[in-house]
Amino acid sequence: FSDAADYPDINFAAVKEMHRQVGDLLIGENNLAIRGLLVRHLILPDGLAGTKKIMEYLANEISRDTYVNIMAQYRPHYKAIGHPLLGRRIKHTEYRQALEIAAEAGLKRVQAF
């Protein structure tokens, strides 16, 4: 949808490099982040965000301790309004499925929002 066919590969490489530089997220006093990688993943309708592939990549290629924030805030705007695939908000079942996918991949630090 972004007209960037190599986006997933570039994104995976960028996340791997970020993790190499800063490691897993470290949380200090008062639950404040000190240093490390935090991945935010926006769920899209009908699995269009590639959640399974992404969660498996994070668990297997980065770290099972990767802190992942799975976001349900998607709302269609601009050209997505009325789009046959992107023209709706996600369903609660799609969000729950994304959380299950992360757990099945072996990720231990998943934050639900």
Tens of pLDDT, residues 53-66: 999 999 999 999 99
Three-state SS letters, the chain? CCCCCCHHHHHHHHHHHHHHHHCECEECHHHCEEECEEEEEECCHHHCCCHHHHHHHHHHHHCCCCEEEEECCCCCCHHHCCCCCCCCCCCHHHHHHHHHHHHHHCCCEEEEC
The overall average pLDDT reported for the chain is 94
In this predicted structure, the answer to whether residue 2 has a pLDDT above a threshold of 80 is no
